[in-house]
Homo-oligomer: A and B are copies of this chain.
């Protein structure tokens, strides 16, 4: 570990800084950690791996690893996710960075958290590289996690709930042609509350970018449901001034 450089407490002593060689600053590393939320029929889970390498060997953890010296952050997030879980084709977004001084035993490592919401059955995680196994975990019964991954996970879940109302990330989780019930289930599951069916339906019908199709559900043991679809162009138009669902 590198020699400890005492932080300068006040601006008036700031000239001390010039005595710290610039090299002393370039001894840190970055990592990315991926929080993949998997939704399937009213159930929300998160993808964890069991670590097959130190530190925290055998612990459950978010898929995450160090960023290469000449690798872009976003690129690293996708690369690491694929390395450890073989998952491709999920769109992630940055959530928050975590920089606690002692969060990593090997040295100073800042980690950048990334998040995605996917239909659980759409992807097929397969442990690879140093990951021993992958598993979908319910949010309600999580094991003790490596590093500060528990904090990263909870921050990501908070962000997911906000984002669900602002961005059409729910499109990742229901079919292109969907029923209002399917749509409602996603919101109830992720937000953790329930809505009146009739009233929810009325709200949906006022949303410009959700279009009622002529097609209906097939082969159901009850009255078939109308199908709806998402119009991305109309969404762009109406989200200009900051669209949010007000459920």
Instruction: Report which A residues bind B (CB closer than 8 A).
Output: 2, 4-5, 7-12, 14-15, 17, 20, 22, 24-30, 66-75, 79, 82-84, 86, 94, 96-101, 106-108, 110, 112, 128-129, 161-162, 165-166, 191, 193, 241-242, 244, 246
Contacts and interface: CB of A to CB of B under 8 A. Distances in A.
Contact of A83 (B14, B24, B25, B30): B14
Contacts of A7: 68, 70-71, 75, 79
Count of this chain's copies in the oligomeric assembly: 2
Contacts of A244: 244, 246
Contacts of A100: 72-73
Contacts of A84: 11
B14 A70 contact: no
A71, A166, A191, A241: residue with the most chain B Cβ atoms closer than 10 Å = A71
Contact of A101 (B8, B24, B28, B70): B70
